[in-house]
Structures are given as C-alpha cells and as structure tokens.
Amino acid sequence: MTDPRPPLAAIILAAGKGTRMKSDLHKVLHPIAGKPMLGHLTDAVAGLGAERTVIVAGAGREQVEGFAAPLGLSVAVQGEQLGTAHAVQQGEAALAGFAGDVLILYGDVPLVTPETMARMIERLNAPDGPAMVVLGFRPADTLRYGRIIAEGDRIVKMVEHKDATEAERAETLCNSGLMAARAADLWPLLARVGNDNAAGEYYLPDIVMLAAADGRASAVIEADADEVAGVNSRAELATVEAIWQRRTRARVMADGATLLAPETVWFAWDTRIGRDVTIGQNVVFGPGVTIADTVAIHAFCHIEGASVAAGAIIGPYARLRPGAEVGEEAHVGNFVELKKARLGKGAKANHLSYLGDADIGPGTNIGAGTITCNYDGFRKSLTQIGAGAFIGSNSALVAPVSIGAGAIVAAGSVVTRDVDADALAVARGVQEEKPGWAARFRERSKGTK
C-alpha cells in the first residue's frame, strides 16, 4: 500500500556562535546523556522517515560537517547571522526539487520528541490545511520569548518580545521557533520576509503573518516547556540534561524497574533496562549498556559498554568497562573492575579484583585481589579460565594464559604457564620459618633508636 503522507525533510538551524558556552566544541555537539545535542534531533527525524536532513551551520561548521558526513546529512552554510528566516533560506539549495513537508528545528533545542514532531506534521496535513504549523509553549517566565496570539489553534498574530505591545506581552503562549511547512509554501514566503524591526533581522515567524495576509491561516500546537528548553550556556546544558534524566527515570520505572533513589541514577541515551531490575543509589550508566530482567545493581556502580544477563548481581562499588559481559546469575562484587571480560553463568568475582581481556567459564570463583595481567606494555593478551575453576585470593594471572576447567590456583600465586584441568597450581615462594629470629632482631635493634 502506498504511504499517503507527503515526503518529509528537516532543516536544523545550528549556525549560532555559542559564545556563552566558552568552548572549543561547537555548541550543538555538546552531549546530553552521552550523545551530541544535534544527534538527538537527527535520530528523531530519521525515526520519522525524513528523506533529507539539512543542518545550517556557521562558525565552527567544520565540526558540524564532521558530525554530518558519516550520517549522509547535508550541511548548508550561513555566512552572516542575519536572522532565523535568513538561516532557513540557506537550506533551500540542499532541498532543491523536494516537494514535501519541511520541519524546522534548532540544534540547541534537543529534547523535542518524535511524537511532537509527528503531531506537527499531522496538523499540517489536516483537512483544513493550515499554511504552516508553529509549536508553542507556556513557560513560567515569558519575558524573553516571542508571543503567539491565537483563537483556538488558529494563529491571529505572532510578534517578537522586543516588538510586542504591553497587551501582547501579557499573552502566555510563546513561540518555540519550531515550525512545519510545505516546501511549496516555505521558499516563496521566506523570499518576502523583510527586516524592518527592532533588531534589523529577518525573522522566521514573519512568514506566518505573510501567509495570513494572503488569506491563509496557520495553526499552533502546544508542547510542554521542558520539551523546547534551549541550551546557550553550561548552566542551561545541565538543566536540559536534568530534564532528559528525569524523563528517562520515569520511563524506566514505568517499564518495570525499581530505582531506590531515582534522582541519583544517571542513564545514557541508549541504556536498556529490563523488567524487575533493582538499581541502587548513585549508579551511573555510560553509553552502550544492556541490563536484562531481574538484575540487581547495588549502590555506587559505574557501567559503560557492557551487558548484564538475567539474575546477575552487580556491586556495590563495581565498575564494568566496555566489552564486559556478565552472564546469568553471575556476581560482580565490591571494587571489582571488568574490562573486555566475559563472566560465565553463575561465576563469581565478589571482592577487589581486576579482570581485563578475560574469558571466565561458568561457575568459576575468582578470589579477592585477583588480577589478570593483560598488558605487557605493547599488546593486550587473553586469560582463559575454564568452567568451575577456583582462583585463590591475591593471585596474578599473567596473560596469555589458560586455566583448565575445575583447576585450583592457590592463593598468592603468580601464574605464568597454562594450568591443566582439575590440577592444583601453586606458584609462590616456599614458606620458611626461623625460630626465635624475631625476638633476636628486636633485641639487636634496641640500641639503634
């Protein structure tokens, strides 16, 4: 069946200098939940099936181009900062021949959801056919924002704050700047925008009033103020991060996980949490984490680039680094660090261990203080431990090395050669005892104080 919806494109404005960020990194590339702000938007429009996405860049465009190129996205350049209408115009060449709907977004407004974008497009294509759709919101503080005067959802007037009358400033419905329009309407209207205003800029909202002058009304739909929060400073970046985290915690709990202190748990953009998972206080998830059902993660754990299978127990104070794989019902205890290590089903590493570049079989017990010596200064090497092995406390396994299934490594051993299955490996100095030596030593030492 043919999709009745018109094709979709997006223009993302990212030409601002971002001077208040005081950073060498382009403003829209600063991360929210481990993903660049710009990436949140490009993911959203890709999920809606956008055929083309154009990012309008200015200062620091090389960084934006570096982000866009691997994704196959276009970058248009706004050489002079002449206003939002002028910025959108720069995307026209990249959308030459495109005849569908166009979403206009802002690279520093990263939290707008695909659902809201879809509502904008749906309203644009409603039977009454508005000229365009504007996304409005009602902030607690309206002083900075342009106003939307509307009757129902029909826009009567849009005006920038600095150009508004006192009566217009009393309106609480504000303009987020996000819009949806048909390409056939957008470009002719933009060409008619002037700059006879207090700032001498070409304002994008003017196209709404130009369409109205032609007898075509536009519509407004509303979003929550948090969804259109913008980022112009480090403080605002932290505020938007907090909004994203709050949303995600609520979703994770709604999906069946328990957060013992929700405000202390931090997720990454791609964290996946199963049902009946319990997460303790002050747990941080970096990118690339998948947690299966019925996992318990105790307080003060840091997990990144890792997977944890059903029924496993992690922490407290555990660190799972990229490449860590924890099997079903395995235990990773306090002050244990895994890096590119696989812990088999039911295996346990409960205390004070480093396991890097290791393949550890099911049912194996790793004693306290065990380390896999995986790096010789030039290369990383693998430690393999078979099923049901027992590694005694304070052992060092010097890779590459293999410990057979069911083998026992005596505590305090430094293992440099392979150990056969079911063997006992003792690799430490022989204990020697000299009767009375300690008393004689103390007597001799009295005169030296």
Query: Which tens digits make up the pLDDT trace of 207-236?
Result: 999 999 999 999 999 999 999 999 999 999
Q: Which contacts of 76-82 are long-range, i.e. CB under 8 A and separated by 24 or more positions?
A: 78/15, 81/15, 81/16, 81/17, 82/195, 82/201, 82/202
Domain ranges of the chain: 8-228, 234-425
pLDDT value at residue 12? 98
* pLDDT at position 198 over 80: no
CATH entry, 234-425, from 2.60.40.420, 2.160.10.10, 2.40.160.40, 3.20.20.70 = 2.160.10.10
pLDDT band per the 50, 70, 90 thresholds, residue 3: low
2 pLDDT more than 70:
no
Task: Given CATH 3.90.550.10, say whether it is the number of domain 8-228.
Answer: yes
pLDDT for the residue 200: 84
Confidence label for 193 from pLDDT (cuts 50, 70 and 90): very high
Does the pLDDT of residue 134 top 50, yes or no?
A: yes
* Cα separation, 236 vs 226, whole angstroms: 12
Identify the H or E element spanning 403: strand 401-403
**pLDDT confidence tier of residue 357, bands split at 50, 70 and 90:** very high
> Which residues make Cβ contacts (< 8 Å) with residue 131, sequence separation at least 6?
181, 185, 208, 211, 212, 214, 216, 217, 218
161 is catalytic: no
pLDDT in tens, 243-263: 999 999 999 999 999 999 999
Half-sphere exposure of residue 312, counting CA atoms within 13 Å on the CB side? 33
**pLDDT tens string 165-180:** 999 999 999 999 999 9
Phi and psi (nearest 5°) for 136? -105, 165
Residue 449 has a pLDDT of: 62
Query: Token pair for residue 149?
Result: 């005067």
- What is the chain's mean pLDDT, rounded? 95
Of 40, 302, 331, 351, catalytic: 351
The pLDDT confidence band at residue 64, using thresholds 50, 70 and 90, is: very high
Residue 292: closest CA among 329, 253, 343 = 329
81 pLDDT band, cuts 50/70/90, is confident
d(CA 446, CA 440): 10
The pair of three-digit structure tokens given for residue 158, joined into one six-digit string: 């849009």
14 has a pLDDT exceeding 60: yes
pLDDT at 163: 86
Instruction: State residue 1's pLDDT score.
Output: 44
> What is the arithmetic mean of pLDDT over 88-110?
96
pLDDT above 70 coverage of the chain, percent: 99
With pLDDT > 90 as the criterion, what percentage of the chain qualifies? 89
pLDDT number for residue 130: 96
Tens of pLDDT, residue by residue over 368-399, are 999 999 999 999 999 999 999 999 999 999 99
pLDDT of 35 reads: 98
Token digits of residue 54? 């154009």
Q: Output the pTM of the full model.
A: 0.91
Strand partners, 266: 284
pLDDT tens-place string over residues 136-172:
999 998 888 999 999 999 999 998 888 889 999 999 9
355-360 CB contacts, 8 Å cutoff, 24+ apart: 355/383, 356/380, 357/381, 357/382, 357/383, 357/399, 358/382, 358/383, 358/384, 358/385, 358/399, 359/383, 359/384, 359/385, 360/385
